[in-house]
Structure 1
Amino acid sequence: MTSAIVDVAYELSNRCRESGDHTGALWAANQGLLAAEENEMLHRAVFLAHHAAGDIPALREAAARLAQINDQLGGGVDMEAETAALLRRLLPRPAHRPGVRTA
């Protein structure tokens, strides 16, 4: 049953996002996350909806939420490679400032 909920939520989220309904896309993905909060496919749908809406702070918050969920799962679970790659693509990188060193 959970698998069916996840699949439908993901499909609806994608269709909403593709039609420009970012609110609907977020709602659908979040409904699926109620059934399977650790499902990274749905988290990716949330990330894409926030990005499409131009809401980078909410995208960062959603990424932090997933990291927290993963930390709570049996001593910490690594993020899926596909999820990490998506976040690298969606999140803006800090601007490099000449003469400023980072450790």
Structure 2
Amino acid sequence: MNATAAMILALAAGTYAFRLVGPVLHGRVTVPPRLQEMLSAGAVVLLVALLATGALTEAGGFAGWARPAGVLAGGVLAWRRAPFVVVVLGAAATTALVRAAGVS
């Protein structure tokens, strides 16, 4: 067995074990409410950071104004509870219009 196959098997076993821990320990481990709040806040912070880097950067530099404008438009539509298709099309249309206007 080569190193690649061994690594794939090790990662597969680790993933399976990680997923199995949740159901096995569900009723046995209690997490304090403060820690639950911090974990929820941490998840939100990580998602916002991912959104910011994806929306604002490209190849290590600023992506231009069209992409953040599209993300902002999509965010507003999602906040207003528009259907997912409308959010995606609105964000894409906003980005296309900003780029067509010559603002990159």
TM-score, with structure 2 as normaliser: 0.26
Which structure shows the bigger proportion of residues in helix conformation?
A: 2
